[in-house]
């Protein structure tokens, strides 16, 4: 892992702040001064210090869960049963990366790594999220033509998306950002309401490869999601 990434993941310093610390000769690896934040480190052997204080690797967890219908992606009991209730182990600061609606099923990622959550959610990183969509009516060519035009939600133009595997009233859609009721609002534009929604993939991570039943989960690594 790069030194600057390790520091930003395990401290409150950003990469820009880390560069400044390095320029000020405040960062060492095994007590040797560092001059380049892009240097690769060995997490098992190297000792990283800032101002002579050792920076320890945080105990982050990453969990893939196949969300059942009727669960919400929050800690609030007011909204309904939380997906966090499905995780048997206790992890501090565990949260979902983004949300699926209560009536939406499929893949979600839970973690206690705030930096990773920010990376996945940031629209500028264009992390692919693929959904299976069932519509009230067959999806017609004229609907596709309309959706290929610029679309505005909440007064802002949304990023382009991909529609594929069209089969009557069923299709797949790939998003590169996430907005409130994003998919439902897209198909409302062509007067074809969504009746069922299931997320099957987040970047590299796919339900097809996880073999998870509804309500089940497994621990994963960042490399299962991103090319690192």
Measured CA to CA, the distance from residue 189 to residue 96 in angstroms comes to: 29
Bridge pairing between strands 81-82 and 48-50: unpaired
In the chain, alpha helices (H): 3-10, 15-23, 114-121, 141-147, 182-188, 207-210
Any catalytic annotation for residue 101?
A: yes
183-211 burial: b if 16+ Cβ within 10 Å, else e: beebbeebebebeebbbbbbbebebeebe
Measured CA to CA, the distance from residue 1 to residue 43 in angstroms comes to: 8
With CA atoms as reference, report the closest residue to 175 among 152, 199, 155: 199
Catalytic residue among 4, 23, 46, 101: 101
123-144 burial: b if 16+ Cβ within 10 Å, else e: eeeebebbbbbebeeebeeebe
Q: What angle do CA 221, 71, 67 make, to 5 degrees?
A: 35
Task: Name the residues annotated as catalytic.
Answer: 101
């Amino acid at each position: 892992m790069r030194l600057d990434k390790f520091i930003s993941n395990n401290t409150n310093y950003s990469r820009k702040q880390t560069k400044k610390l390095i320029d000020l000769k405040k960062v060492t690896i095994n007590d040797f001064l560092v001059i380049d934040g892009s240097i690769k480190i060995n997490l098992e052997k190297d000792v990283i210090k800032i101002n002579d204080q050792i920076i320890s690797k945080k105990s982050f967890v990453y969990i893939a869960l196949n969300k059942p219908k009727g669960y919400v992606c929050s800690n609030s009991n007011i909204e309904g049963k939380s997906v966090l209730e499905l995780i048997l182990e206790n992890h501090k600061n565990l949260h979902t990366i983004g949300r699926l609606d209560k009536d939406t099923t499929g893949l979600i990622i839970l973690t206690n790594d705030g930096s990773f959550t920010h990376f996945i959610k940031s629209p500028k990183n264009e992390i692919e999220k693929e959904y299976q969509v069932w519509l009230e009516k067959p999806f017609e060519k004229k609907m596709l033509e309309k959706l290929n035009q610029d679309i505005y939600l909440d007064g802002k133009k949304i990023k382009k998306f991909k529609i594929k595997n069209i089969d009557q009233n069923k299709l797949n859609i790939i998003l590169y950002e996430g907005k409130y009721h994003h998919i439902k609002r897209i198909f409302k534009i062509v007067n074809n309401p969504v009746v069922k929604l299931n997320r099957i993939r987040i970047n590299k991570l796919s339900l097809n490869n996880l073999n998870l039943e509804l309500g089940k989960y497994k621990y994963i690594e960042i490399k299962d999601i991103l090319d690192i």
